[in-house]
Amino acid sequence: MAALRAYTPLSALSLPAPSVLHPEACNPAMDLVALLSRAPSTKTVQGKGHAVTLWRLNGGPRVWTKDIGGWVEGLGWSPDGT
């Protein structure tokens, strides 16, 4: 018997590092996703910090990455998806 899914997959990404999917990660247009990972170049206390990486969900390339000098506690999108 095939396993049932409680959701419909939007895309599959191969990621270079372990990442966290925040509840607000997908933009309203559902074509971009922001993922959180440990920032390799962040020089904060105890080496803690996040990198935010923006990916296209249509299988396209990574849009950008930004190291954050601390922890990301929330994400938000404007109504137009930016």
User: Each residue of 13-34: pLDDT tens digit?
Assistant: 677 677 777 778 888 888 888 8
**Which residue in this structure is represented by tokens 């296209």?**
56
Task: Give the H or E element holding residue 75.
Answer: none
59, part of any domain: yes
Region 66-78: what's the mean pLDDT? 80
49, part of any domain: yes
Whole-number pLDDT of residue 35: 84
Beta bridge partners of 67: 51
Region 51-80: what's the mean pLDDT? 82
pTM assigned to the model:
0.65
> Domain range holding 64?
20-68
Whole-number pLDDT of residue 19: 77
pLDDT over 60 (residue 45): no
